[in-house]
Each structure stands twice: as C-alpha cells, then as structure tokens.
Amino acid sequence: MSDFSPDPDELASAYLDDDASVDERARVEADPALLARVEELRTVRDALRDPVTPPSTVERDAAIHAALAVSNVVHLDAARRQRRLRVASIAAAIVLVLGAAGVLIRSASNQNQDKFQAVAGSIGSSAGDAGAERVPQAASTAAGTTGLSTASRAALGSFADRASLTAAAQSQVHDPSFNQSKQAADSAAAGGGTGFAGASPPACLVPPPPDATNEAYAATAVLEGRSVQLDVFTSADGSLTLIVTDSTTCTQVFSQPV
C-alpha cells in the first residue's frame, strides 16, 4: 500500500508542464478542483510570460559596453601575464646562455692547462735535453722548471761576453739583497695568474739540471747583441748552475757553475 500522494499543487503544476505521469494525469482530469487549480496556475504562467518592458537602446548598450570593458581588463591582465612570462623566459634564457658559456670557458681553460701541463711534463721528463720550449709560466712552474715571463725577470743589462754575464749573475746570486729580489720575482710570477703574464712574452722553458732542487735566480740580459734569459738552479749539494738561453729561439747558449 502506498500512502504517498503528491501535493495537489504539484500535481496541477506538473500537469500544466506536461510532466505528470499517466496516473497523475488521470487523477487530475478526474478531479474538477484540480482542473480548476491547473487553470489558476496557467493564469499565473501566462502572466509571467507577458513580455517585460524592454530596456532602451541606451541602457542595453551601456550594459554591454560595461561588460566589454571588463573584457578589456581581462585581456590586459592576460597580456600582462604574458609579458611577465616573456620577460622571465628571456631572463632564464640569458642565465642559461651565461651558464653554458661559463662552463665552456672553464672547460676550454682546463683543456689548455692540461695541454700545457702535458707539454711541460714531456719537457721535464727529458731534462737532459739541451733544447728549451716557450711555455707559459704556470705550466713550467707546475713542471718544476723555470718559466718566469720576461716581464717578471730582472734585467741585468748588456754584456759583451759570457764571462762578464756570468760574473754579473754570480754577483746577483751572492748579493745580500738577492733573496728579496727573488721573492719579488716570485711574487710577480704568482701575480701573473694561471695564463700568460699580461702582454709580456712567455719565457723559455729551461730544463733544470738533473739534480736541481729549485730555481734560485732568473733574469734577462743582452749578450753579444741578442736577448737571453738567465736561470740559476740550486742543486741538491748546494751548488748553483747558470743556464743562459736565447730568448728568441729558446735554445741554450751556455751553462756553467756560478
């Protein structure tokens, strides 16, 4: 048994909307009171369907223009977002390019350093060879050989023969201020950084004597009209050896104890 029965107004309203079931329709059509209620609701519906007073053209245009103006604001916001995104993209691209360039430069620098170290190593291993190579200071220093750039070396002056040059070098090495000048030279060499020392040409890489422990002195001079570099090495027994190299050809001119 079903006690559920829709409200009479709901029945009449559904009937009016043609939304009533077959049973509901039968019930409405069998009940004059419900039919009368349907007519009352129909009157209400017809009244609601009467057209409303339309707004004037001005009022209508005002409403539409107001909405379109909002559309402008919306588009401006979108454009602003796009612009910010574009700027951020450009900034990100710049950062990426700079980063990549930095990596490339560092990589190239490492490759050069490796190459120079390899060259210096090969030269160091052939210490008995009388020849010399022109390599940057850092590479030669790493290899334990001399390579102070010409700008970092003291200039001894011009000499007419080997004896006077040797004597000058000897006096420099045994001079009390020698250590200070050497430190200055070392400092200048260190300040040159890892690359070529400014615009000065790199010195010739002079292979030290087999028993050399360190370089005691480096200088440049003019011997018999040609530029030479002087390197004085300290051996394990404390003796000093002067090696004079032609700065232009990097070939050894002579060497002798001082």
Under the rule (CB under 8 A), what is the footprint of another protein?
7, 9-10, 12-14, 16-17, 19, 37, 40-41, 43-45, 47-55, 59-60, 62-64, 66-68, 70-71, 74-75, 78
Using CA of residue 166, residue 242, residue 181, residue 223, what is the dihedral sign?
positive
Which of 238, 219, 239, 237 is closest to 229 using CA atoms? Answer: 219
- What is the CB-side half-sphere exposure of residue 57 using CA atoms within 13 A? 0
Helices (H), 152-247: 162-174, 178-191
Residue closer to another protein by CB (options 66, 100) is 66
CB of 53 to another protein, least distance (A): 4
CB of 39 to another protein, least distance (A): 10
CB of 88 to another protein, least distance (A): 22
Can you say whether residue 144 is alpha, beta or left, with left for phi > 0 and alpha for psi between -120 and 50 degrees?
left
What token pair was written down for 65? 């223009």
Residue closer to another protein by CB (options 3, 50) is 50
CB of 60 to another protein, least distance (A): 6
Residue closer to another protein by CB (options 68, 199) is 68
Beta bridge mates, 131: 251
What token pair was written down for 126? 């052939």
Residue closer to another protein by CB (options 80, 115) is 80
Residue closer to another protein by CB (options 62, 104) is 62
- What is the spatial distance between Cα 152 and Cα 192, in angstroms, rounded to a whole number? 9
CB of 66 to another protein, least distance (A): 5
Tell the residue number behind the tokens 């990097």, with chain if given.
250
Which are the contacts of 242, defined by CB distance < 8 A and separation ≥ 6? 166, 169, 170, 230, 231, 232, 255, 256, 257, 258
Residue closer to another protein by CB (options 31, 186) is 31
CB of 46 to another protein, least distance (A): 9
CB of 81 to another protein, least distance (A): 13
Residue closer to another protein by CB (options 50, 237) is 50
Strands 226-235 vs 204-205: parallel, antiparallel or unpaired? unpaired
